[in-house]
Amino acid sequence: MSKRPKIAIYWLGACGGCDSALLDLGESLLELAEKFEVVIWPAALDFKHDRLRKMPDNSLALAIISGCVRNSDHKAMAELLRAKSRLVLACGACACFGGIPGLANLRPRDEIIEWVYSASPTVTNPEGVRPELSCDVNGEQLTMPEFYGHVYALNQAIKVDYFLPGCPPPIDLLLDAIKKIVGKKPPQRGSTLAPAKPLCDSCPRNRSKPARMAITKIRRAHETVIDPGECFLAHGIICLGPATCDGCGGSCLAVNAPCRGCFGAVEGVRDSGARFLASLAPLLAPEDEAGLRAMIDEIADAAGYACRFTQPVSILGEKELTEKDRE
Ligand code: SF4
Ligand code: SF4
């Protein structure tokens, strides 16, 4: 029997991009396979839930889990993996903060169901059929996971030992994180495995920032042409670099797109969206109060901008949860 530490790789509510990033490890995957026994990885290996259920508790060295918790199946799998694993790594923005799926928290569950199953112009559903938790098909009972009224980050459902942000995490950080976690001197539990500084600190455009920034107009990226060396924010284009953790290598900035915050908050800051809005406010330089109102109104979806990847862990844009949502 193999003496290599066992690891599991699993995705919950996610697009699969983090699993693709793992596959992008290429030859480094062979290095991983030499060091670890990958016992569960549905995206790449055959896998049966029963195999995981039958393993003794704590028998896995590490579970690498991507995706948010959106339904009862995600929650059950997260709890099962937690029970079987000595360490859990939340991999990617969805697991760390809820990610893009977390924006669904800006709408009530019933409104989402209504849109997806009836109101959307591309849907044809004259009988108004809705998903049922169980139904009879030819005498057999089929069951479906329950769709929760709220999207949760992984650590809102189970205890998480390490966080690796990004949408998806860059492969160098991913490989480094796995080696560190199962190495001789693992990082402190609860750590975010990315540099503890904001993206602006490593952004080459930072040098173009004026000593005193004064934004007189909020612009969307398509409304202006910006020189690839210029700071987006100085031109009134919302860029979350000041409030976002470094570590992605500035991939969006390199293709002349502003940062949308997929690395979340710098370690020690709870809410990157709230931090960003707080840091933006003193940079606004309207002529008068009406001008200030006009500038704020130009931000079409402030919560969506500031918390595109982080709503479930943010204080911004939270809809009022009903008892049904909390079930
Ligand atoms: S605000 Fe954006 S463009 Fe400006 S320095 Fe920071 S990361 Fe770079
Ligand atoms: S620039 Fe921002 S949004 Fe783009 S990859 Fe980096 S952290 Fe994510």
CA 180, 185, 186, 188 torsion-angle sign = negative
Tokens of 31: 């290095």
How confident is the model over 225-242, as a mean pLDDT?
Answer: 93
**Cβ-proximal residues to 287 (8 Å cutoff; 6+ apart), any chain:** none
How far apart CA 234 and CA 203 sit, in angstroms, is: 13
Which atom of ligand 1 lies at the shortest distance from residue 233's CA? 1
Q: Which residues line ligand 2 (CB under 6 A)?
A: 167, 199, 244, 248, 250-253, 259-263
DSSP state letters, 70-82: EEHHHHHHHHHHH
Q: 195-215 pLDDT, tens per residue? A: 999 999 999 999 999 888 999
In 3D space, the residue among 64, 66, 65, 60 whose CA is nearest the CA of residue 86 turns out to be 60
d(CA 156, ligand 1 centre) in Å: 31
**276 close to ligand 1 (CB < 6 Angstrom):** no
- 6-101+148-194 has CATH 1.10.8.60 classification: no
Cis, peptide link before residue 165, omega less than 30° from 0: no
Within 13 Å, how many C-alpha atoms sit on residue 3's CB side? 0
Residue 326 has pLDDT above 60, yes or no: no
The C-alpha angle 158, 163, 165, rounded to 5 degrees, equals 125
d(CA 9, ligand 1 centre) in Å: 34
Residue 26 has pLDDT above 60, yes or no: yes
Least confident of 81-85, 194-198, 290-294: 290-294
| Domain range summary for the chain, segments of one domain joined by + | 6-101+148-194, 199-313
Which atom of ligand 2 lies at the shortest distance from residue 263's CA? 7
Residue 312 has pLDDT above 70, yes or no: yes
Given the DSSP bridges, would you call strands 140-143 and 62-66 parallel, antiparallel or unpaired? unpaired
Residue 125 one-letter amino acid = N
- Largest alpha-carbon pair distance within the chain? 74
| φ/ψ bin of 110: left (φ > 0), alpha (ψ from -120 to 50), beta (otherwise) | alpha
Among protein residues, the one whose CA lies closest to atom 6 of ligand 1 = 200
DSSP E strand boundaries for 113-238: 134-137, 140-143, 147-152, 162-164, 191-192
In 3D space, the residue among 244, 311, 267, 262 whose CA is nearest the CA of residue 91 turns out to be 262
In 3D space, the residue among 260, 235, 236 whose CA is nearest the CA of residue 250 turns out to be 260
**Highest mean pLDDT pick, 26-30, 45-49, 61-65:** 61-65
d(CA 250, ligand 2 centre) in Å: 6
In the chain, the percentage of residues whose pLDDT exceeds 70 is: 96
Given the DSSP bridges, would you call strands 191-192 and 37-40 parallel, antiparallel or unpaired? unpaired
Of 171, 203, 262, best ligand 2 pocket probe by most atoms within 8 Å of the beta carbon:
262
For residues 286 and 195, the model is more confident at 195
Q: What is the model's pLDDT at position 15? A: 94
pTM, two decimals, is 0.92
